[in-house]
Structure 1
Amino acid sequence: MVRYHWVQGLIILNAWYGKFVTDNSRKHERAKVIDVTVPLQCLVKDSKLILTEASKSGLPGFYDPCVGEEKSLKVLYQFRGVMHQVLSGDTEPLRIPKQSHRIDTDT
């Protein structure tokens, strides 16, 4: 089996941008999200992703799937073989990888 050194770096497994509906009382309300996995992976440099305090809808490959509504960016990523997940507000700065994003996969 051939192993490439970049596999140990930062890999964006799934990334979604838009309005996530988590309130059970609003089940009739559909989530309005777009898949931004590939555009986000393209922004990774030296196994780091740094996003500034600006709306993520302006990033290359992104658009606003729900104009005028509150949006978030949800990212599932792997760093050095360990799973991580983060939910970031639309205009919040974001730096990954971070130890605090690590998810426990032992359960």
Structure 2
Amino acid sequence: MNAKHAVNYHPGLIILNGWYGKFVSDTSQKQEKAKVIDVTVPLQCLVKDSKLILTEASKAGLPGFYDPCVGEEKSLKLLYQFRGVMHQVISADSESLRIPKQSHRIESES
């Protein structure tokens, strides 16, 4: 592929950031710390044919994951790119998840 064509090439699904665990909102107690792990690489390894499909089970059992806060509610937060467009989603721990999805698109400020 020469450089001229590379500009229009958008690879399929790219996981830019993946975080798993307990996220703490700004309004909650300051002494309560977020307990999250970076799961960007393990998630990218699960992408097949530009799709990521996770079942209705705790994500702690996935390859490359562990439970950063045993006994507490967890979620999976993803920032991903699909065909050059940014997407973001937060999913509960035992919720099934399929990406990419049109509803996860982040509107660009243009």
**By the TM > 0.5 criterion, same fold?**
yes
Larger radius of gyration, structure 1 or 2? 2
Partner of 1:100: 103
Partner of 2:45: 42
Q: Deviations over 1:66-96 (max 9, x none)?
A: 0000000000000000000000000000000
Partner of 2:30: 27
Q: Pick from 65, 74, 89: which aligns with 1:86?
A: 89
Shift of 1:25: 3.1
Q: CA RMSD in A?
A: 1.9
TM-score, normalised relative to structure 2:
0.90
TM-score, normalised relative to structure 1:
0.93
Shift of 1:24: 1.4
- Identity within the alignment, %: 78
Give the partner amino acid of 1:48.
K
Q: Distance in 2 between matches of 1:50 and 1:4?
A: 29
Q: Pick from 4, 14, 21: which aligns with 1:18?
A: 21
- Segment drifting more, 7-16 vs 53-62: 7-16
Gaps of 5+ in 1: none
